[in-house]
Amino acid sequence: MAEHKQSFITKYIFSTDHKMIGRQFLWFGLFWLFWGGLQAMLIRWQLAFSGQAVPIVGKLLWPASDGIITPDIYNQIFTMHGTIMIFWAITPLLTGAFGNFCIPLQIGAPDMAFPKLNMLSFWTFFLSGVVLFISHFLPDGPASAGWTSYPPLSTPVGGIPGQGQTLWVLSLTLMGTAVLMGAINYVTTVIRYRAPGMGYFKMPLTVWGMWLSAMLNALFVPIIAAGLVFLLLENVFGTQFFVAGNKATIEGGDPLLYQHVFWIFGHPEVYILILPVWGIVSDLLSTFSRKPAFGYKVTATCMCIITGLSGIVWGHHMYTTGMSPLLGKAFMFLTLLISIPSSIFFLNWLGTMWRGALRFTVPMLFTMSVVFVFGLGGLTGLYLATVTSDIYLHDSMFVVGHFHYTLAASVLMASFAAIYYWFPKMFGRKLNSLLGKIHFWLTFVSLNVVFFNMMALGYAGQHRRLFDPYVFDFIKPLQPMNFKITMWAFLLGVAQVLLVINIIWTLLKGKKASKNPWEAGTLEWTLDYPIPHGNFKETPTVYTGPHEYSNPLLKDRDWISQSEPLEGAS
């Protein structure tokens, strides 16, 4: 494979090289992160300046309303923001980009198990993005039934959702197909293509996270695919799988059926997105604390337990649907149970840093911030796991703040940590440290102000999805807090321009990075840039775990590569 001849088309566009596909997913995910971020800014504008025209771009986007965000436009914006951030920003950035780039390199494999399927996965994902992007420019606009698209709002019965909702379903179906292709590749590659000596408990925790995430994708994406097919038939052919009551002309339809199908996938989806984060954080904390990951096997085991439990806790999203109290108690018990292994490896993160020789590089700063924001997100999740408190907090801004801490903040900061960490190996150049630290502090401070105050709004009674919350007298006193959140959200958005500048400047003018700038022990850092097609000239043999730092047997340095024998070790 090292002698593989490639044309421009086969090398840069329809590539079967996992490293190039990882880069493609990176640019694709960053584009959608930018697009979804702009929509977040529009949401915040409406909540702070309800009824006022959006400056500069408002009249260009919505000339019919003189640039004012109407209720229909607002519904479309928050629907597309949630959809894009979860499925077209986070998924390609973490699972697509770093899953593709890291898994073969870190297990000593020449490529993915199915390179052509890997290429097809990216281009199917790309096609899904094209379909979703086109939906923004339809006469009636894109989908507007929320990122969950509950019936009847998402069916002709609940209003006329139009072609935007149909394209939403079609794009998600294509995206799910692409994710399934990737999942098959990831699972097979880890099981069958590990280098000699690379046992499961010698794999980097990044690989553990990506691998377990892929298993959940393989199991649960087909379930939501079934629900999406039914929803597509509902909108195109007028079937009544989810129609009940006076609107139904045949018996048997039930809108709650969709909610069950959606959340049977939707809650594992939370872990599909966060498992890679847990793996990356565990590895990077060890690397920059210069000591082995505390409780490595326990952390990997806890991640496996969480993966298993994640498929049986979906009902906590439906406490207010009128489910049986006994069933609610069962889901509450299981949801609280899943917090135990989460807490264990969270403590392992603290144990890794404890008394370590911490190096406060840009990747380490972003990684440590994940420990903080995920801790807050996890603690606030306990209130939503408990039936009694969830009845009050359900569908309030408290929920928005909570899942933005556990998903948006944790995943965003981990993605930035991964970008700064693996950029030298992906592109041969190291991102500017000063710009990176400014980017970190602006992002970390503004992000916490925004999301923490969202939870305060929810505790005070403000519900989510309200176009103009100030029509309610009890919410009017919260307008100054909404204004403050919006100003800090704008700062959060502007801070991301620094990352864009840093990437462009580094690619054009940045200094070439050394082979192993972080002095890390995993296999990808044994290769020179550019890494050839096929990765390793000779298949490496693995002798040690991924976190051999500060070992007393090492005399001249504090780290050793996994492919180097550790003399004197038993």
Full set of structural domains in the chain with CATH: 13-526 (1.20.210.10)
Please write down the long-range contacts of 54-61, taking CB distance under 8 Å and 24 or more positions apart.
none
- Measured distance CA(131)–CA(406) in Å, rounded: 29
CA atoms within 13 A on the CB side of 226: 14
Do the beta carbons of residue 92 and residue 32 sit within 8 Å? yes
Dihedral angle, C-alpha 494, 499, 501, 505, nearest 10 °:
170
The answer to whether the CB of 268 falls within 8 A of the CB of 310 is yes
If one counts every other C-beta atom within 10 angstroms of the C-beta of residue 147, the result is 18
Contact 144, 163 (CB under 8 A): no
Long-range contacts of 539-542, Cβ-Cβ distance < 8 Å, separation of 24 or more: 539/108, 539/110, 539/195, 539/196, 540/108, 540/195, 541/195, 541/196, 541/197, 542/108, 542/195, 542/196, 542/197, 542/198, 542/202
What does the pLDDT profile of the chain (570 residues) look like in tens digits? 445 577 888 888 999 999 999 999 999 999 999 999 999 999 999 999 998 999 988 989 899 999 999 999 999 999 999 999 999 999 999 999 999 999 999 999 999 999 999 999 999 999 999 999 999 999 889 999 999 999 989 988 876 677 999 999 999 999 999 999 999 999 999 999 999 999 999 999 999 999 999 999 999 999 999 999 999 999 888 888 998 887 888 888 899 999 999 999 999 999 999 999 999 999 999 999 999 999 999 999 999 999 999 999 999 999 999 989 899 999 999 999 999 999 999 999 999 999 999 999 999 999 999 999 999 999 999 999 999 999 999 999 999 999 999 989 999 999 999 999 999 999 999 999 999 999 999 999 999 999 999 999 999 999 999 999 999 999 999 999 999 999 999 999 999 999 999 999 999 998 899 999 999 999 999 999 999 988 999 999 999 999 999 988 888 888 999 999 887 654
Name the residue type at position 413: M
Report the C-alpha gap between 404 and 489 in whole angstroms: 13
